[in-house]
Amino acid sequence: MHLSRFPRIKLCHAPTPLEPMERLTKLLGGPKLYVKRDDCTGLATGGNKTRKLEFLMADALKQGADTVITQGAVQSNHARQTAAAACKLGLKCEIILERRVKDATPAYENSGNVFLDKLFGAGIRHVASGTDMNAAMEKVAEEIRGKGGKPYVIPGGGSNTIGALGYVASSLEMLHQANEMGLRIDHVVHATGSTGTQAGVVCGLEGSNSGILVYGISVRQPKDKQEEAVHKLASQTAEMLGIKGGVTRQMIVANGDYVGAGYGIPTPGMVEAVTLAARYEGLLLDPVYSGKAMAGLIDLIRKGQVFSKKDTVVFLHTGGSTGLFAYEDALLKS
Ligand SMILES: *Cc1c(COP(=O)(O)O)cnc(C)c1O
């Protein structure tokens, strides 16, 4: 795989650390747990979307865009990182936020990522849950074109083949680090939502024949739907990269058991996982993605499923701690 064939601009502080989680490993009695710190990508409190934006923003600039448009949930980490990247590159940014979470608190509506979106001067529009977000973005693009502007539309979560390249890059970086450290990795576990992260990681790790298994934990859709969606994007990305044999359906695993009542709605397991990571590792997870993924990892370890005590498991930390400030009530109440 030769990523330099694709336009890219540097936005990430990389390589991000690959660190042991010694106290959490001890608490759970194995497997050996490591964390790949993609919460530390640097841009505006960091996170996984910065990886994708290195390729997406380069494409936007190549096409002569003066405005980027994107969408997400109200507390979208992707929207916040896109707004920050736009500032750094001197582009305008328009964000459409979907009111996906019912009965949201004032903190959810205004704090965390929303506060930062405003600090970055992004244009913000709110729409109701269930809105056709692609159509909504196209409408904004039309308005901008009408005024003589040049819009570039970034899909939700930055998840298309171009964005997925960011996670090909991240997983190759992790593999290189593991080889330098003499660390044998058996599994990589992470939260999966709009699919670009898992599609990229699978392409990176399968495309280099690493033998590392990728285990996604869904934060929104049930298992089958999520796996189908990841497989579709992973296949397209593999084709773009020219990976021999492509990506098979069996390479895609997404557990759907830890979503709870829905996207962005707290679960007891998430609250426990966020609290344990904080108190045993001094590590900040987030309530919507990495907290639910860690809840899944902890539960599967306790049940003795998927991972054996002898395995080495890397938790790919995708960021999102800025969203903690929107969930203070849910996290401290219990
Ligand atoms: C967007 C996001 C994810 C999910 O990544 P996808 O590429 O959308 O599947 C995971 N964690 C955090 C913190 C995110 O913001």
Check residue 334 and give its pLDDT: 63
Q: What is the pLDDT of residue 1?
A: 87
pLDDT given for residue 164 in this prediction:
98
Tell me what pLDDT residue 191 has: 99
Answer yes or no: are the C-beta atoms of 72 and 82 closer than 8 Å. Answer: no
Q: Give the list of residues 6+ apart from residue 191 with CB closer than 8 angstroms, or none.
A: 197, 216, 217, 218, 219, 289, 290, 292, 293, 318
Out of 51, 117, 194, give the residue to mutate to test ligand 1, the one with the largest number of ligand atoms within 8 Å of its CB. 194
Closest CA relative to residue 225, chosen from 264, 182, 255: 255
Cβ neighbours of residue 251 closer than 8 Å, sequence gap 6 or more? 202, 206, 214, 234
Q: Which atom of ligand 1 is nearest to the CA of 192?
A: 9
Output the CA 61–ligand 1 centroid distance in Å: 24
Catalytic residues, which ones? 76
Identify whether the C-beta of residue 207 lies closer than 8 Å to the C-beta of residue 1: yes
Question: Residue 333's pLDDT is what?
Answer: 82
The pocket around ligand 1, CB under 6 angstroms, is made up of 47-48, 77-78, 157, 159, 191-198, 286, 289-290, 318-320
Rounded to the nearest angstrom, the distance between the alpha carbon of 146 and the centre of ligand 1 is 33
> Ligand 1 centre and the CA of 103: distance in Å?
23
Q: Residue 103: its pLDDT value, please?
A: 87
Q: What percent of the chain has pLDDT over 70?
A: 100
Percent helix, strand, coil in the chain, to 5, is 50, 15, 35
Report, as ranges of residue numbers, the positions in the chain whose pLDDT lies below 50.
Answer: none
- Atom 15 in ligand 1: residue holding the nearest Cα: 77
Handedness of CA 260, 196, 103, 137 (dihedral sign): negative
Distance (angstroms) between ligand 1 centre and the Cα of 23 equals 26
Residue whose structure tokens are 């490993």: 25
Q: Give the largest CA-CA distance in the chain.
A: 61
Closest ligand 1 atom to residue 197 Cα is 7
